[in-house]
């Protein structure tokens, strides 16, 4: 039977799982809310992906877990940080020097890779929810919108209102003021997206290598990629299935470990 390899990314908001074959081809994937029982969620995601791939559990070779809840994946053979796995996943799609921006549900990160795929630096925003998926969720709630309504509104707005406060709490107060002044909701939504971009460029100028944008936020809101391009004046690459990048990277590492290949990235922060 053909051996397959698994990567599972347990994020604070969503769990992503990827199954690949020995040629690094994606066989199946699963994305679902992480919930409160990470172990059960990971197992359910694996069962669903195996069924989608029409694969048997005994075909599963090595599995690597990553993300916020990586140590809760009972069937994982190894656990690595999302910094590491996102780097591998992005380099698989774009094998050159990269500035990777990952906008997740609870944090965002900038990861710098050299032309050989080795990590040379990274930055993370964990001090507050501003600039993350949670920020967009809070804005949607304040505007009485479904999350799925945010992207079409932002895309059709000709301009975005400036939100001077990047704190989620204060931004909601500003939004109330804009609503009282009659500012169109679409302009407020676009302004919220622009504030996400501002948070990213405050972390790093993104002036090194090709800029790659990943994460669930961009998967559901592609206008954010356009706004980032306009902000930095450079082309931004969004890989296929941008929300799956960390899980794919973990699966690729599992495959390499199974084949006894050395890992090219520095792992001093992987624990």
What's the confidence (pLDDT) of residue 72? 97
- pTM listed for this prediction: 0.92
Mean pLDDT of 176-201: 94
> 77 pLDDT exceeds 60?
yes
pLDDT tens column, 4-23: 999 999 998 999 999 999 99
Three-class SS of residue 86?
A: helix
Q: Which residue has the higher pLDDT, 106 or 114?
A: 114
Q: Measuring CA to CA, how many Å separate 212 from each of 24, 66, 208, 215, 237? A: 20, 20, 11, 10, 5
Q: Do domains 1-94+241-271 and 96-238 have the same CATH topology?
A: yes
Three-class SS of residue 142?
A: helix
Element (H, E) at 255: helix 245-258
Rounded distance between C-alpha atoms, residue 46 and residue 10, angstroms = 12
Mean pLDDT of 252-262: 90
> 106 pLDDT exceeds 80?
yes
What's the confidence (pLDDT) of residue 49? 98
Residues 6+ apart with CB under 8 A from 7: 17, 18, 20, 63, 64, 65, 66, 85, 246, 247, 248, 249, 250, 251, 252, 253, 254
Mean pLDDT of 72-96: 97
What's the confidence (pLDDT) of residue 271? 43
Q: Considering the domain 96-238 in this protein, what is its CATH number?
A: 3.30.420.40
Closest residue by Cα to residue 92 from 267, 271, 264, 266:
264
Residues 6+ apart with CB under 8 A from 135: 129, 168, 171, 192, 195, 196
What's the confidence (pLDDT) of residue 166? 62
Give the domain ranges of the chain.
Answer: 1-94+241-271, 96-238
What's the confidence (pLDDT) of residue 266? 42
Rounded distance between C-alpha atoms, residue 27 and residue 246, angstroms = 16
What's the confidence (pLDDT) of residue 63? 98
What's the confidence (pLDDT) of residue 169? 75
pLDDT tens column, 131-159: 788 899 989 999 999 999 999 999 999 99
Three-class SS of residue 190?
A: helix
pLDDT, averaged across the chain: 92
Give the full edge-to-edge strand order of the sheet including 108-113: 119-125, 108-113, 98-103, 210-214, 236-237
The β-bridge partners of 210 are 98
Rounded distance between C-alpha atoms, residue 262 and residue 239, angstroms = 25
Q: In the CATH hierarchy, which top-level class contains the domain 1-94+241-271? A: alpha beta
Range of weakest confidence among 70-74, 81-85, 166-170, 199-203 = 166-170
């Amino acid at each position: 039977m053909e051996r397959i390899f698994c990567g599972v990314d347990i994020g604070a908001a969503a769990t992503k799982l990827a199954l690949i074959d020995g040629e690094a081809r994606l066989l199946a994937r699963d994305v679902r809310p992480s919930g409160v029982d990470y172990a059960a969620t990971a197992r359910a995601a694996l069962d669903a992906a195996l069924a989608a791939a029409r694969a048997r559990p005994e075909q599963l070779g090595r599995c690597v877990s990553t993300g916020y809840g990586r140590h809760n994946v009972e069937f994982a053979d190894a656990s690595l940080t999302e910094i590491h796995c996102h780097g591998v996943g992005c380099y698989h799609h774009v094998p050159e020097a990269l500035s990777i921006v990952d906008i997740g549900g609870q944090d965002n990160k900038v990861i710098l890779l050299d032309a050989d795929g080795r990590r040379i630096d990274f930055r993370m925003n964990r001090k507050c929810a501003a600039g993350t998926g949670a920020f967009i969720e809070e804005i949607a709630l304040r505007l009485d919108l479904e999350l799925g309504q945010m992207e079409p509104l932002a895309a059709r707005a000709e301009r975005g209102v400036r939100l001077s406060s990047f704190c989620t709490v204060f931004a909601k107060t500003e939004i109330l003021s804009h609503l009282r002044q009659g500012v169109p909701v679409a302009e407020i939504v676009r302004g919220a997206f622009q504030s996400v971009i501002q948070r990213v460029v405050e972390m790093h100028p993104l002036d090194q290598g090709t800029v790659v944008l990943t994460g669930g936020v961009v998967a559901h809101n592609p206008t954010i990629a356009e706004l980032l391009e306009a902000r930095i004046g450079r082309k931004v690459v969004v890989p296929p299935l941008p929300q799956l990048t960390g899980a794919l990277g973990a699966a690729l590492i599992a495959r390499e470990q199974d084949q006894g290949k050395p890992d090219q990235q520095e792992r001093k922060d992987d624990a």
